[in-house]
Amino acid sequence: MTKTAWVFPGQGSQAMGMGTDLLDIPSAKEKFAQAEDILGWSVNEICQNEEAKLAQTLYTQPCLYVVESILADLIRERGYKPDLVAGHSLGEYIALYVAGVFEWSTGLELVKRRSELMENAAGGMMAAMMNFDREQLETVIAQTPDVVLANDNSPAQVVISGTPDAVQTVMSQVKAKRSVPLKVSGAFHSHLMTAAATEFQEILENVEFQQATVPVLSNVEPEPAVDAQVLKQRLTQQMTGSVRWREISLALPTQGIEKVVEIGPGNVLTGLIKRTVSDVTLENVRNAAELPN
């Protein structure tokens, strides 16, 4: 049997119309209805008709959780299961759900609160940098207060996060092929999220985590873990900690993974993995048409 990892994208992968083709599937339709009860608004309505809202953290994160988790459940209904899971930022919640760490509705409640807290933690800035000198970048970040490496996505792509002045300083001092400010409401995965993270930690403490049924590679610690307390501890650090996706990609072959399936809209993660490791097969399940037989 081919050893397979399932990976789940985060904010930035959302797309208008995502999940629409799942409405014809009874089990999926039921989940969308459940989601509406929990959220107080319709995921379908946002994904089909509200482009501005879909780009807002408050709506983006729950929409992605619902669509990706439904796709994962439909794949499992067809008899497939992963040997390992990981998710990028918000995607880690779907990974933990698929690994049986918490119930579906619990995961959506957590994502709802997370998105509210992150939406309200405004005032920072994030920027993506492509094809840069890593040594120079690390030096400039070390010398610049109030900015951090938020997402280490691949050898050639990172995201920095911090105060607008600090982010602009790094962008002006580091030579890169491209530097692009991101359309986000705050400085995610940085110390500027500390107040939100503290509040979220109190919420997490009241949620019971179960032992994972398959190993999870966490954003802040890309070492496979199944222990409930370890996974919860890593999740509490996630809002302020870096997303170490490059290291997650590098860990896949060392765990014997031969195939990676990205479940969710777009192909961001398979693209990043492709640029980081060469010896894995990559597949995408973005919609109902791409579900395995």
Each residue's pLDDT expressed in tens, for the chain with a length of 293 residues: 899 999 999 998 999 999 999 999 999 999 999 999 999 999 999 999 999 999 999 999 999 999 999 999 999 999 999 999 999 999 999 999 999 999 999 999 999 999 999 998 878 999 999 999 999 999 999 999 999 999 999 999 999 999 999 999 999 999 999 999 988 878 999 999 999 999 999 999 999 999 999 999 999 999 999 999 999 999 999 999 999 999 999 999 999 999 999 999 999 999 999 999 998 999 999 999 999 98
| Per annotation, catalytic residue among 13, 115, 179, 189 | 189
- Looking only at the bridges linking them, the beta strands covering 125-132 and 176-181 are antiparallel
Q: Which CATH class is domain 4-121+190-290?
A: alpha beta
| Per annotation, catalytic residue among 13, 69, 89, 179 | 89
CATH code for residues 125-181: 3.30.70.250
Q: Are 4-121+190-290 and 125-181 equal in CATH topology?
A: no
Q: Break the chain into its structural domains and give their ranges.
A: 4-121+190-290, 125-181
Task: Supply the pTM of this predicted model.
Answer: 0.96
Whether 89 sits among the annotated catalytic residues: the reply is yes
Answer yes or no: are the C-beta atoms of 263 and 71 closer than 8 Å: yes
**Inter-CA distances, 1 with 51, 80, 81, 189, 202, Å:** 41, 11, 11, 37, 42
